[in-house]
Structure 1
Amino acid sequence: MRAISGLWRWRHNPLRRGTDLAEAWVALLALLLILVVAPVLGSLVGTVAQDVLQRSVREQAHSRHLVTATVVRKLDRSPLEADPETSSGRDVRSRVFADWTAPDGTRRHGAAMAELKSPHRGDHFTIWTDPHGRMVARPLDSATATTHAVLAGLGTALLVVGLVEGCRRLIVWRMVRRRYARWDQAWDRAGPDWGRTGTGC
């Protein structure tokens, strides 16, 4: 709004300098870029990110399997670990040695984190594996993917706003510097006795 009011104010003002009008046009252009280009680019980036992430969600849902593992023994260290997507932060996860059957039918065993407070031999818990039974992270869910896509779009829009505003400030700074340089040249041309011109001294 300041850009529009600035253009209107300088339109018929006899004190208007060329740089004043140029500054107002630069501000108006920056405003239009912020209001039009930033949302469009943010929307495009968010849409592309959503497509890529939803494709990843489908691939992970197809390639990752939830299998039941059986505790063989509890391992020495039992660190507190919270899965930020499923736990409240107070759930205790125990480190155990377990056996499980892979989706392809092979028997597997190894160390795993069990969501059991006090695991005993024979206790069951679930883990995510690939088709060959290797443990993998929980698959990405659709809601999380959408959240990441929205954040990518918002981040892009904010980045564009920052770039436009930074460019506007740089352009105005250079215009002001050029204006001051012209003033210095005008003072130099006036000479040291500019105040006494025409006084007969």
Structure 2
Amino acid sequence: MRAITGLWRWRHNPLRRGTDLAEAWLCLAALLLVLVAGPVLGWLVGGVAQDALQRSVREQRESRHEVTATVVRELDRSPLDTDPETSAGRDLRSRVTADWTGPDGTAQHGTVLAALRSPHRGDHFTLWTDRHGRMAARPLDSATATTHAVLAGVGAALLTAGVVEAGRRLALWRMVRRRYARWDRAWDRAGPDWGRTGTGS
């Protein structure tokens, strides 16, 4: 980006080449795109993501219900689950067989993960179901949806900056290659005797 600072200096410099000025304008345009287009695009993407995610939050809150289940019996832990690191993360959840009543009044029975450290028959816990009583994931909460939308916006802004910078580098690379090609043609025109005494130079 040094070419940007040299933009003013190159205005009336007799040593200025056309490519020097073009490089400076290219860098300035890329900087303006990163500073303006990146945040605007990030804001737009974040806004669209926020609308979609908040709509999903509302739909999930309408279609999922928290019900109370009763432990019938605790299931044995898997013999393969002997790693202390993985089992420590699951200490607060146990696999149990449980009964619960769905929001539509139907009786349900099945194997679930209960938020109980050491469940016993008759213990109660809550779980999420759909409107027919079938198990469902916990609905997305509004704060998490907003966090995802912000991350989407930041990602879009960073992606825009990356694309602009990649385009600037590609354009600069092509300009330098054309400059070197012109130099090669100039050297070819000068001929192999350039600088020798008595060759008319």
What is the TM-score when the length of structure 1 is the normalising length?
0.91
Give the total of aligned pairs.
Answer: 194
Structure 1 CA distance for aligned equivalents of residues 150 and 193 of structure 2? 66
Write the deviation string for residues 23-44 of structure 1: whole angstroms up to 9, x where unpaired: 0010011011011101000000
Q: Tell me the residue number matched to 2:123.
A: 123
Letter in 2 for 1:139: P
CA shift digits 1:76-119 (9 cap, x unpaired): 22669xxxxxxx95742100000000000000000000111111
Which string of whole-angstrom CA distances, capped at 9 and with x for unpartnered residues, describes residues 31-82 of structure 1? 11011101000000000000000011111111110000000111122669xx
CA contact (8 A) 1:128 1:137 kept: yes
Aligned residue number for residue 66 of structure 2: 66
**CA-CA distance at 1:197 after TM superposition:** 5.9
Q: Which amino acid aligns with 1:45?
A: V
| Structure 1 unaligned blocks of 5 or more | 81-87
CA contact (8 A) 2:23 2:172 kept: yes
Correspondences of 1:32-51 after superposition (within 5 Å): 32-51=32-51
Aligned pairs (5 A) from 1:134-173: 134-173=134-173
Rounded Cα–Cα distance in structure 2 between residues aligned with 1:141 and 1:47: 17
Q: Does 1:177 align with 2:177?
A: yes
Distance 1:191 1:95 in 2: 86
1:132 paired residue number = 132
Q: Distance in 2 between matches of 1:101 and 1:132?
A: 9
Decide which moves more: 116-125 or 101-110. Answer: 116-125
Check the 8 A contact 2:98/2:111 in 1, yes or no.
Answer: yes
Q: Secondary structure at the match of 2:37?
A: helix
Gaps of 5+ in 2: 83-87
Partner of 2:104: 104
Alignment pair present for 1:114 and 2:114: yes
**1:195 is paired with a residue of what secondary structure?**
coil
Q: Is the 8 A contact 1:77 1:95 kept in 2?
A: yes
Q: Counterpart amino acid of 2:39?
A: P
How far apart are the structure 2 equivalents of 1:200 and 1:3?
39
Q: Which runs of 4+ in 1 moved over 3 A?
A: 1-4, 88-91, 197-201
Question: Cα–Cα, structure 1 residues 30 and 134, in superposed 2: closer, same or farther, change >3 Å?
Answer: same
Q: Is the 8 A contact 1:50 1:146 kept in 2?
A: yes
Q: Which residue type is aligned with residue 38 of structure 1?
A: G
Q: CA RMSD in A?
A: 2.0
TM-score (norm 2): 0.91
- SS of corresponding position for 2:195: helix
- Percent identity, aligned pairs only? 79
Mapped contact 1:3–1:31 kept (Cα < 8 A):
no
